[in-house]
Amino acid sequence: MQHSQSKPGVKNEEREPLFRPTGRAEGLPGRAYYDPAFYEAERHTVFAKGWMGIGFAKDIPDSGDIQPITVAGWELITVRQKDGSIKVFHNICRHRGMRLVKEKGNARSIRCIFHCWTYALDGKLMATPVINGVNEHKAEDFDYSELGLKEVRSGQYLDIIFVNIDGQAVPLEEHLRPVRDRLEGTFDMSLIRDGETINTMSYPVNWKIAYEGGIEDYHVGFVHKKMRHSPAYQFEDGGTTYAGFSNSFKLEDIKGVIFESTTDGKTLPIFPKMVESGVTDAITLFIFPTVIIGCKPNSVNMSVSLPQGPEKTEYVGRTYFIGEAATDPSFQKLRDGVREFWAEAFHEDDVVWREVQAMVKIREDLNLETRFSPHWERALHAFQKYVAKEVGDDVRRDPASA
């Protein structure tokens, strides 16, 4: 039996060094960041078996709003239903497999342009014009109830739409309980509103380089000159659900730092609980494999990082603010300031990440290991262990040669 790819996802001899204590551990091999076979393995494990965030409910506010989303080689559509709920389907016609929706829009039904099969918003197959001859619109042997769009199990947390492609994961509620337990005691999420403060980036790097680039605060101060290393930095361990970091400061000590800046006599409001206690918290959780929720005393960032191939990642982030600060025009300059602050940081990251991506093949050729800062990169280490566990050695073989 010949295999077009003979390397496993993460070889046993690579697994042992990765699972050592952080200071002695060695990172994922170079090929994990470019090899199509490794990416294909991730598609069927990391991305298909768990819950992944794919977009924002806010992007499809009205009944009939439809958005196509490509993520990790899966083609999906999110559809706002008449009753206000959201359904997610594979973007594939049940006739001959045509891609159904190419652009975001609003419609009363979903019609395939190839032979005009037409689906209701809830996915049911409604019409098959002339399928049985001119003026003959029904095929006798078809069970129409079985030919609806293929639905993807989905759910929502805050504004983020999650999907579980293989349909076998634990309920979303259960999966996200550790996230809610960690965040909601500290941040009153019922107060936050969408600020239409959106950042998008397209990074020519593997999704893990982008995720790893954000999951440590080691590089801040070096890459992001406007940021400083925090003396209060703490690792947040969420097992196989998330990893991240947090900082806690006295309110008086953060006065005047970027997000507390004042424009036209306005300051972004801080969560009331923190004002009362005088202690502010910032927590950033990387909810594997695509979501980041970053909570600050006066704003919450939510983002999805969508893999578009082994060496391309699309990022979409939205910032939410407290109460009227999200929508009141008098806060617009401050909202813009927050967006610009992040946009600048993302461009600074981009410069570095490209150079890391450029070296991954050489790193694989040299069999060169990477190392972790035992202080700043415990979350990064936790993330890599999660990937290794999920992927296992399940690299799919070329079926033609199996």
Contacting positions for ligand FES (CB under 6 A)? 93, 95-96, 98, 112, 114-117
- Which residues on adjacent β-strands are paired with residue 56? 160
> Which lies closer to ligand FES via its Cβ, residue 98 or residue 198?
98
Task: Output the smallest distance, CB 117 to ligand FES, in A.
Answer: 4
| Residue 20 binding: pick among ligand FES, Fe ion, none (C-beta 5-8 Å cut-off by kind) | none
Name, in order, each residue with C-beta under 8 angstroms of 52's C-beta and a sequence gap of 6 or more: 71, 72, 162, 163, 164, 165, 289, 290, 291
Q: In the complex with ligand FES, which residue's Cβ is closer, 115 or 354? A: 115
Q: Say which entry of Fe ion, ligand FES, none residue 121 contacts (CB below 5 to 8 A, set by partner kind).
A: none
Query: Is 281 near Fe ion (CB under 5 A)?
Result: no
- Which lies closer to ligand FES via its Cβ, residue 112 or residue 338? 112
Q: Using CA atoms, how far apart are residues 123 and 79, in angstroms rounded to an integer?
A: 9
Q: Using CB under 5 A, which of 194, 281, 349, 390 touches Fe ion?
A: 349
Number of residues that bind Fe ion (CB under 5 A): 1
The least distance separating Fe ion from the CB of residue 18, rounded to whole angstroms, comes to 23
Dist. CA 353–CA 345, nearest whole Å: 12
Measured distance CA(341)–CA(109) in Å, rounded:
40
Report how far apart, in Å, the C-alpha atoms of 378 and of each of 114, 229, 311 are. 51, 15, 24
281 interacts with, out of Fe ion, ligand FES, none, CB within 5 to 8 A per kind = none
- Three-state DSSP at 90 gives strand
Using the minimum distance from each CB to Fe ion, give the nearer residue, 269 or 294: 294
Q: Considering the complex, what minimum distance in angstroms separates the CB of residue 118 from ligand FES? A: 9
In the complex with Fe ion, the residue whose CB is nearer, 82 or 228, is 228
Q: Which is nearer to ligand FES, 127 or 227 (CB)?
A: 127
Least distance from C-beta 263 to ligand FES, angstroms?
A: 52
The alpha helices in 230-278, defined as continuous H runs, are: 251-254, 272-277
Query: Shortest distance, CB of residue 217 to ligand FES, whole angstroms?
Result: 49
Do 158 and 41 form a contact (C-beta atoms < 8 A)?
no
Q: What CA–CA distance (Å, rounded) separates 215 from 243? A: 8
Q: How far is the CB of 147 from Fe ion (least distance, A)?
A: 47
What distance in Å separates the CA atoms of residue 353 and residue 355, rounded to the nearest whole number? 5
CA distance 52 to 178: 16
Give which of Fe ion, ligand FES, none residue 360 binds (C-beta under 5 to 8 Å, depending on kind).
none
Beta strands (DSSP E) in 158-205 are 160-164, 192-203
User: CA distances (Å), 184 to each of 93, 129, 150, 272, 288, in order?
Assistant: 41, 51, 34, 14, 19
Query: Using CB distances below 5 to 8 A depending on partner kind, what does residue 117 bind out of Fe ion, ligand FES, none?
Result: ligand FES
* Residue number with CB closer to ligand FES (49 or 124): 124
Q: Which of ligand FES, Fe ion, none is residue 251 near (CB under 5 to 8 Å by kind)?
A: none
Write down the H helix ranges in 45-188: 46-49, 172-184
Residue 93's binding partner among ligand FES, Fe ion, none (Cβ under 5 to 8 angstroms by kind) is ligand FES
Q: Which residues of 27-66 are buried (b: 16+ CB within 10 A; e: fewer)?
A: bbbbbbbbbebbbbbbbbbbbbebbbbbbbbebbeeebbb
Q: Which two tokens stand for residue 146?
A: 């079985």
Nearer to ligand FES among residue 108 and residue 115 (C-beta): 115
Q: Report what 349 binds from Fe ion, ligand FES, none; CB cut-off 5-8 Å by kind.
A: Fe ion
| Residue 115 binds: one of Fe ion, ligand FES, none (C-beta under 5 to 8 A by kind) | ligand FES
Residues in the chain: 402
Give the residue with the Cβ less far from ligand FES, 120 or 191.
120
Candidate segments 6-14, 118-126, 285-293, 346-354, binder of Fe ion by CB under 5 A: 346-354
Stretch that binds Fe ion, among 70-78, 133-141, 304-312, 345-353 (CB under 5 A): 345-353
Phi and psi based region of residue 392 (left: phi greater than 0; alpha: psi -120 to 50; beta: remaining)? left
Where on the chain is the footprint of Fe ion (CB under 5 A)? 349
